[in-house]
Amino acid sequence: MGQWDRFLAPYKQAVDELKIKFKGMRRQYETDNINSPIEFVTGRVKPIASIYDKSLEKGIPFEPSEELATELQDIAGIRMMCQFVGDIETVVSLLRKRKDLRIVEEKDYISREKQSGYRSYHVIVEYPVQTISGEQLILAEIQIRTLAMNFWASIEHSLNYKYKGVFPDEIKLRLQRAAEAAFQLDEEMSQIRDEIQEAQAYFTEFKEAPGSHFPRNDDGGRKQR
């Protein structure tokens, strides 16, 4: 385990740093009283058990190595959630302009969804981590999706573990229908985007007034008592 701890330490550092930076982007929008395209940010380092499964799938040795670091591009994972489909392109454009990371690959699963119905936009980046041994370049996968897309993906991910990737036909069909329904929800919400954002601005002003019972949490999200 000591070898794995040393191997994964830079990935954990990359996730922590990127989360702070992307949350900072969201706060900058709030400071300027502009609707943020970023609703919230999460991140994780892929568990060793998942790394093992992925290494078997790719046919590479399950050991801390340069080959593993190159072939598994999502050991470090960041997820950026958006309210509207249109926000996703805005976030991608922001990433393209950053000087502290380099985009290696983009995968558009929104305009070209997977057969399962999965929709998301993936950006693979190379991010420099400063360690006591010097700079180390880390590959990280940034997933950008709406809240509806994330809800569907979370359910599909859980079912995938239950059925080991082989879904019964009925479940597969229902998942595909649910994915389309989630996307239709995103489309409908995009049509009334201005109304939604106006209402949210009013609500934010109300809950931040003296005596309000709706304080903000540390991440700038909504927190109800």
- Residues assigned a catalytic role: 141
With contact defined as beta carbons under 8 Å apart, do 183 and 175 qualify?
Answer: no
> Which residue shows structure tokens 């931040």?
208
Facing residues of 107 across strands? 122
Whether the CB-CB separation of 152 and 122 falls below 8 Å is answered with: no
Matching residue, tokens 């590959």: 139
Q: Tell me how far apart the alpha carbons of residues 107 and 72 are, in angstroms, rounded to a whole number.
A: 15
Alpha helices in the chain (DSSP H): 2-31, 48-58, 66-71, 85-97, 147-163, 169-191, 193-207
